[in-house]
């Protein structure tokens, strides 16, 4: 096993993979930085490996896979000691997949749409209409939390992938615990997990600092 992860630490999808690696206690992963702000993801060598030129990108010997959800699922299936993070049971897995699609279809697009004009286009203010989309994501997530975790009574990839995004959204538009008590409590639970502390906190700090610097 030779795992190589192409990454930028501030990226929420990258941090989802970090947290999965920590939760699985995978050793000896090589990390290679790809500076999106400098366009390194558009260089020929990287595009040949990943035509979508996105991070994270994982290389496992001669196998290459991108998209954080696909990577996380692959890591659990290939290297996990059990299926707790990504259940084999079709109904349980469907609940996890449902929340992963919620992340890729609602949460992350709302976050990306909000910060992209600031990070890449030089805008100095967050657009109101984009903040409203983040708020909408919070409302959905609040309604989903009928159990302690997003897909049941224990942590799964649903929590790991969604918390990478929601913790970043929280930096952009802080979660109102009075409006969203379940979501606020869930984020607090996640933040106490070792995989969160080791796999999310460092990159989240970089995201916070980058956002602050671009808005100043």
Q: Say whether both 94 and 165 belong to one domain.
A: yes
Rounded Cα gap, residues 137 and 105, in angstroms: 10
User: Considering only CA atoms, which of 188, 163, 186 is closest in space to residue 20?
Assistant: 163
pLDDT score at 37: 74
Please say if 104 is a catalytic residue.
Answer: no
For 115, other C-beta atoms within 10 Å of its C-beta total 23
Say if 192 falls within a structural domain: yes
pLDDT score at 48: 94
Q: Say whether both 74 and 116 belong to one domain.
A: no
Say if 85 falls within a structural domain: no
132: domain CATH number is 1.20.1050.10
Say if 97 falls within a structural domain: yes
Q: Say whether both 69 and 120 belong to one domain.
A: no
42, 60, 79 — which closes off a domain? 79
Q: Say whether both 152 and 107 belong to one domain.
A: yes
Q: Say whether both 108 and 207 belong to one domain.
A: yes
Q: Which of 11, 68, 167, 184 is catalytic?
A: 11
Q: Say whether both 31 and 61 belong to one domain.
A: yes
The pTM assigned to this predicted structure is 0.96
- If one counts the domains in the chain, the total is 2
Residue 164 structure tokens: 């990478």
Beta-bridge partners for 30: 4
Tell me the CA distances in angstroms from 21 to 14, 60, 68, 139, 196, one per residue in order.
Answer: 11, 13, 12, 29, 11
For 189-202, give the DSSP string.
HHHTSHHHHHHTHH
Q: Say whether both 66 and 22 belong to one domain.
A: yes
Q: Say whether both 113 and 32 belong to one domain.
A: no
Range of the domain at 148: 90-215
21: domain CATH number is 3.40.30.10
Q: Say whether both 122 and 191 belong to one domain.
A: yes
Q: Say whether both 34 and 66 belong to one domain.
A: yes
Per-residue pLDDT 10s for the chain (216 aa) are: 689 999 999 999 999 999 999 999 998 899 999 988 788 888 888 999 999 999 999 999 999 999 999 999 999 999 999 999 999 999 999 999 999 999 999 999 999 999 999 999 999 999 999 999 999 999 999 999 999 999 999 999 999 999 999 999 999 999 999 999 999 999 999 999 999 999 999 999 999 999 999 998
Q: Say whether both 68 and 157 belong to one domain.
A: no
pLDDT score at 36: 80
Say if 135 falls within a structural domain: yes
Say if 84 falls within a structural domain: no
Q: Say whether both 106 and 207 belong to one domain.
A: yes
């Amino acid at each position: 096993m030779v795992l190589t992860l192409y990454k930028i630490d501030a990226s929420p999808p990258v941090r989802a993979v970090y947290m999965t690696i920590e939760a699985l206690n995978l050793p000896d992963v090589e990390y290679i930085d790809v500076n999106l702000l400098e366009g390194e993801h558009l260089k020929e060598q990287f595009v040949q490996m990943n035509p979508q030129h996105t991070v994270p990108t994982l290389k496992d010997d001669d196998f290459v896979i991108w998209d954080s959800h696909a990577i996380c699922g692959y890591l659990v299936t290939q290297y996990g000691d059990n299926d707790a993070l990504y259940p084999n049971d079709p109904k349980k897995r469907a609940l996890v997949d449902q929340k992963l699609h919620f992340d890729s279809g609602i949460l992350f697009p709302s976050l990306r749409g909000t910060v992209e004009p600031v990070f890449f286009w030089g805008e100095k203010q967050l657009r109101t209409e984009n903040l409203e989309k983040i708020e909408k994501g919070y409302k959905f997530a609040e309604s989903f939390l009928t159990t302690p975790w997003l897909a049941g009574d224990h942590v799964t990839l649903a929590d790991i992938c969604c918390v990478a995004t929601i913790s970043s959204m929280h930096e952009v538009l802080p979660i109102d615990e009075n409006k969203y008590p379940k979501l606020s409590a869930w984020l607090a639970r996640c933040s106490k997990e070792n995989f969160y502390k080791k796999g999310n906190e460092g990159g989240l700090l970089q995201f916070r600092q980058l956002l602050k610097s671009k808005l100043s």
